[in-house]
Structure 1
């Protein structure tokens, strides 16, 4: 048996990818995964968050005074009881039809085999329920006839 220098020193041999055989390529625990993700993030992200130029126009910091708020200070608050102008009956009807059509396009329609199966199940259930109700009706009729003697 031939022993190499790396074996004699106690170091383990590496495979072709440069990893030690018992070293795993992916972290096992959630904490190790979080640590790996944190180390993989670019370092410039934290600096970009503090920069106001990258902030969208609609998002302002809590203490910022924008021109919009300065102009709105002098105007009266709109009343809440104002109702928006209602569209005509034809416009509302057309909107309703468009919405119904949009909902019908979302429906997953059954194929012929499924439809036959569902129809058969419903018919069998209806026949069973009719037989059950008819049987109970006849039974109660006999009981009432025996009790009251008609």
Structure 2
């Protein structure tokens, strides 16, 4: 493995050492070594605390975007300071340019409330509007008949 690390060539390592007999065996060793190293590496913990939520509010996202793209701060430095990745910041920027502030909102930013029954005043208003609609329709019908009658009487006189 040390020779492979020096030359970065499976073929050169096999020719120089004379073993293993196949390249597949060497690749298998490399894969095992990489898996062991990966297993030993500490896993990155996701920070989902009230101070640093996993899904920040639209206000927080907008403040970060303002720092990066209005104030001109380095995106990498802002990313490291806030704990949100550069990819997330650029994604927020694309969404903001495409659809505005609403695209940055989470469901927690605008909690759903209970549906309220219509108030009696709105029911009364609806009845009044329906009556006005009927009256206007009657006026339209009367005017149409008047116009049709006037047109018919002119055509008879001609």
TM-score by length of 1: 0.31
Higher helix share: 2
